[in-house]
């Protein structure tokens, strides 16, 4: 009973939002083109105009469309204007499979940010964060189950982000975390090498406690490289398989 999840009830506006967002990010609605008029759209969708407008406002907030009073609603080029939160919508491609291009991008960003987050944590972490960091690595030492290690790894990085005292990293982490959550189930095995590298987790935690920025950064980079290489190899494999299918 541990994995029960609350069922998510979606309002009409949410459904409309998701439907339009999906069509836009998949390119089914051409960027630069105009959406049908609101009255026409809500007739097509069979919903109230208010519900539709709430959805459109969300799309505008996500910079997927731009609304002009009296001048219609145009679809923006999300690659040009989108924000980081689109990643969690893009990571799952059509058909439910992981989009390898997006996954590779996320892995690269993780590799670039992680070591600096660790470095700053070593520079600025409070005693409270340091303490909790050691507690987490203790639990990591005692844990064998990969799913549990995934969870602990996230707690570990969450603490490092908190220790870094950097709001930009916090927000980026929040978004990347949400993206990761979309695919965490299928990543468990690929990340095994990283998740079981208990020595590196501990080295980072102790580096932070010792305020050793250089060492902490290096060990964090090593830790992340294990998972990165696993994922990148898998991506390469998937891409070559897809290529083989096409030819």
Residue 73 interacting entry, from DNA, its own copies, none, C-beta within 5 to 8 Å by type: DNA
Nearer CB in complex with its own copies: 55/149: 55
Binding status of residue 214 toward its own copies by CB under 8 A: no
CB atoms within 10 A of CB 227: 22
Nearer CB in complex with its own copies: 27/142: 27
Residue 61 interacting entry, from its own copies, DNA, none, C-beta within 5 to 8 Å by type: its own copies
Binding status of residue 182 toward its own copies by CB under 8 A: no
With CB under 8 A as the contact rule, the residue among 92, 109, 148, 183 that binds its own copies is 109
Judged by CB under 7 A, the chain residues 1 through 60 that form the site for DNA are 9, 11-13, 35, 37-40, 46-51, 53-54, 56
Residue 70 interacting entry, from its own copies, DNA, none, C-beta within 5 to 8 Å by type: DNA
Binding status of residue 242 toward DNA by CB under 7 A: no
Residue 181 interacting entry, from its own copies, DNA, none, C-beta within 5 to 8 Å by type: none
221, 227, 231, 236 alpha-carbon torsion, rounded to 10°? 60
Provide the 8-state DSSP code for 214: H
The Cα-based distances of 124 to 35, 120, 179, 225 in angstroms read 49, 6, 27, 24
Residue 216 C-beta-side C-alpha neighbours within 13 Å? 26
CB atoms within 10 A of CB 247: 4
Q: Is the dihedral of CA 164, 166, 167, 170 positive or negative?
A: negative
Q: Contact, 132 vs 159, CB < 8 A?
A: yes
3-state SS class at 47: coil
- To DNA, the closest distance from the beta carbon of 195 in angstroms equals 36
Q: How far apart are CA 183 and CA 170, in angstroms?
A: 20
- To its own copies, the closest distance from the beta carbon of 196 in angstroms equals 26
Q: How far apart are CA 156 and CA 150, in angstroms?
A: 10
Using CB under 8 A, count the residues that bind its own copies. 44
As given in the structure block, the two tokens for residue 200 are: 């590196």
Q: What residues make contact with its own copies under the rule CB under 8 A? A: 9, 11, 13, 50, 53-55, 57-58, 61-62, 69, 79-87, 90, 101-102, 104-106, 108-109, 111-113, 116, 120, 166-172, 174-176
Q: What residues make contact with DNA under the rule CB under 7 A? A: 9, 11-13, 35, 37-40, 46-51, 53-54, 56, 67-73
């Amino acid at each position: 009973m541990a994995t029960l999840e609350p069922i998510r009830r979606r309002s009409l506006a949410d459904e409309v939002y998701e439907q339009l967002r999906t069509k836009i990010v998949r390119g089914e609605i051409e960027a630069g083109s105009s959406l049908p008029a609101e009255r026409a759209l809500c007739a097509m969708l069979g919903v109230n105009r208010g519900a539709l407008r709430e959805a459109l406002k969300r799309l505008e907030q996500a910079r997927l469309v731009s609304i002009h009073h009296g001048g219609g609603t145009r679809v923006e080029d999300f690659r040009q204007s989108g924000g980081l939160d689109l990643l969690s919508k893009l990571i799952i491609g059509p058909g439910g499979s992981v989009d390898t291009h997006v996954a590779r991008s996320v892995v690269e960003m993780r590799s670039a940010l992680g070591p600096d987050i660790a470095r700053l944590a070593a520079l600025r972490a409070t005693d409270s964060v340091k303490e909790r960091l050691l507690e987490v690595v203790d639990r990591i030492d005692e844990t064998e189950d990969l799913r549990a290690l995934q969870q602990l790894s996230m707690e570990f990085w969450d603490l490092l982000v908190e220790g870094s005292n950097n709001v930009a990293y916090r927000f980026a982490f929040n978004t990347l975390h949400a993206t990761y959550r979309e695919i965490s189930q299928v990543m468990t095995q690929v990340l095994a090498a990283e998740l079981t590298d208990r020595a590196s987790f501990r080295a980072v935690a102790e580096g932070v406690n010792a305020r050793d920025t250089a060492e902490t950064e290096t060990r964090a980079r090593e830790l992340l490289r294990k998972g990165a290489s696993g994922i990148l190899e898998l991506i390469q494999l998937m891409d070559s398989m897809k290529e083989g299918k096409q030819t």
